[in-house]
């Protein structure tokens, strides 16, 4: 998940630039420009990720690993979320340059899957890493969730989001969990929560009402006590489940198309709101403001 979250941040930066370009050219010309820019970002980010994550890892050739039990599956939820939002960012960019809904959904889905698969294949060659079918399944799941909704409704009624808060656990294994706040946000699974955000109006109430369409009902999954991929004797590993109201940044009533596009690019963030947590040790825990 660590490489995937970093890749997502790289894509968001580029997408924000695309989103601010005027849409006053022929669609074909825009597509060519987008394709060229996408190719540059794809190649550049692959090189950057390779240098950041694998420069000290020996190359051992293609091999597979079974890491489905690692990190209480937090990394798999992260894979799905990253694939979902790379798909979203690609779709928004393609719509801005003039492609129709179906074309944008299919092309962005293909790019998301290509991008995530490329990272998995990169993982496959280095010692300490490897190609994971569990990761690929999560990548496919996140991509499919976005693409299917776009094809069915031309909108997202269920979205995936991310939130983070610092924890005490990173200090015990900074190599795996990070040694500063930015790396903690990418690596420390104890502080990461992945959310499935349901649009209340579209799913529960129907479209024929005045309920704000930007209010969501969010179900979160997190875990704590993890200082290594597999259990250690240091801390008890505990799954955490959350229920929380939420805000869909992409559906706030904002008229400015560029600000709206930027909010869509940032919609992977779950804004802090009250939350009810359940875990097997503490049972129900109330958070007045949960990050």
**pLDDT < 50: residue spans in the chain:** 2-24, 26
Predicted local confidence at residue 27, as pLDDT = 60
Rounded to whole angstroms, how far apart are CA atoms 162 and 182? 14
pLDDT at 17: 39
Determine the pLDDT at residue 236.
95
**Dihedral, 23, 28, 32, 37 alpha carbons, nearest 10:** 20
117-165 pLDDT, tens digit each = 999 999 999 988 999 999 999 999 999 999 999 999 999 999 999 999 9
The structure's pTM equals: 0.86
Instruction: Enter the tokens of residue 187.
Output: 């690596």
Predicted confidence at residue 24, as pLDDT, reads 45
pLDDT of residue 38: 67
Give me the pLDDT at residue 162, please: 97
| Cα distance between residue 196 and residue 142, in whole Å | 11
Q: What is the DSSP letter of 124?
A: T
Using one digit for the tens of pLDDT, what is the confidence trace for 269-281?
A: 999 999 999 999 9
* Residue 173 confidence (pLDDT): 95
pLDDT at 137: 97
**Which residues make beta-bridge pairs with 285?**
277
pLDDT of residue 181: 92
Q: Cβ distance 18 to 96 under 8 Å?
A: yes
Choose among 78, 40, 62: nearest CA to 121: 62
DSSP string, 208-270: SS-S-TTEEEEEEEEEES-SSSS--SSS--EEEEEEEEEE-GGGS----HHHHHHHHHTTTB-
For residue 58, give the DSSP letter: P
| Residues in the chain, total | 291
Q: For 77-94, give the secondary structure using H, E and C.
A: HHHHHHHHHHHHHHHHHH
pLDDT of residue 35: 63
Enter the DSSP assignment of 125. T
pLDDT (tens digit, 9 = 90+) per residue, 83-95? 999 999 899 888 8
């Amino acid at each position: 998940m660590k490489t995937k979250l970093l890749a997502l941040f790289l894509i968001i930066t580029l997408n924000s630039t695309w989103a601010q370009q005027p849409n006053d050219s022929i669609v074909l010309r825009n597509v060519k420009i987008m394709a060229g820019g996408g190719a540059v970002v794809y190649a550049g980010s692959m090189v950057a990720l390779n240098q950041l994550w694998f420069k000290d890892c020996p190359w051992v050739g293609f091999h597979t690993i079974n890491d489905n039990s690692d990190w209480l599956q937090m990394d798999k939820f992260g894979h799905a979320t990253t694939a979902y939002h790379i798909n979203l960012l690609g779709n928004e960019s393609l719509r801005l340059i003039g492609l129709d809904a179906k074309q944008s959904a299919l092309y962005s889905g293909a790019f998301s899957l290509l991008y995530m698969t490329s990272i998995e294949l990169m993982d496959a060659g280095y010692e300490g890493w490897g190609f994971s079918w569990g990761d690929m399944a999560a990548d496919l799941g996140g991509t499919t969730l976005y693409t299917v909704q776009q094809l069915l409704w031309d909108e997202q009624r269920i979205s995936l989001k991310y939130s983070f808060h610092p924890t005490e656990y990173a200090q015990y294994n900074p190599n795996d969990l990070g040694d500063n706040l930015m790396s903690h946000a990418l690596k420390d699974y104890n502080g990461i929560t992945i959310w499935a955000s349901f649009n209340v109006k579209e799913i529960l109430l129907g479209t024929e009402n005045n309920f704000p369409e930007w209010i969501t009902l969010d179900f979160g999954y997190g875990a704590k006590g993890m200082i290594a991929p597999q259990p250690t004797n240091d801390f008890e590993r505990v799954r955490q489940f959350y229920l929380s109201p939420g805000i869909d940044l992409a559906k706030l009533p904002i008229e400015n198309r560029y600000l709206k596009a930027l909010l869509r690019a940032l919609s992977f963030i779950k804004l802090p709101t009250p939350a009810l947590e359940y875990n097997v040790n503490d049972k129900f825990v109330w958070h007045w403001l949960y990050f």
